[in-house]
Chains A and B, each alone.
Chain A
């Protein structure tokens, strides 16, 4: 139980294109989903927190117009990197949490590796 999937696992795109990453909780309803980013040899950095049906809360320094988050249902959140540039190349990881599942633990997706050429 408590499985989170991400799609795609890897994407390579040209500069200026938009990329959508999906995060799904497969066997539980996620009250909250988090989006993290990890650059090589660095820690995971929280980008934003989203609750189903409401606007995401972005961390300081994260452009909300560039990183669009949609949390349309209790099992799906999407992150769209708009007009991607090489500096957006990173490992994007989502996590999902439910008050009803294992003491409010966060469950991580397998991550999406984005490379912008």
Chain B
């Protein structure tokens, strides 16, 4: 089983739509969680951290359910510029603290 699993998509949605991505992780040890965004042929960029209490940054809301080992990202009022691949990322809180990336969920926002 992969450490971090995501639905690869693609998710094709119209502008203005609300879209949600899910991610599951297999290691129950103490870790931190993030969503990154990666545009085609570019490096990943940090979108937001994910906290147990849930957190919001503008149109983006992230949720973490430690009991179910499940992370989500909600994008409201989708823009064309939101088209990208969204990567679910896990980082252990001890050791080398290297990032483990999911394979990403591709979002295409249509005009």
User: By the criterion of a CB under 8 Å from any partner CB, how many residues of chain A are at the interface?
Assistant: 23
The residues of B that contact A46 with a CB separation of less than 8 Å are 98-100
B103/A43 in contact, CB under 8 A: yes
Which of B11-19, B42-50, B63-71, B73-81 sits within the interface?
Answer: B42-50
A108/B43 in contact, CB under 8 A: yes
Known contacts A34-B98, A49-B96, A57-B96; A43/B104 CB under 8 A: yes
Cα–Cα distance between A44 and B3 once the two chains are bound (Å): 13
User: By the criterion of a CB under 8 Å from any partner CB, how many residues of chain B are at the interface?
Assistant: 18
B98/A44 in contact, CB under 8 A: no
How far in angstroms is the closest Cβ of chain B from A42? 6
Cα–Cα distance between A42 and B85 once the two chains are bound (Å): 11
Q: What residues of chain B have their CB less than 8 Å away from a CB belonging to chain A?
A: 4, 8, 41-46, 87, 96-104
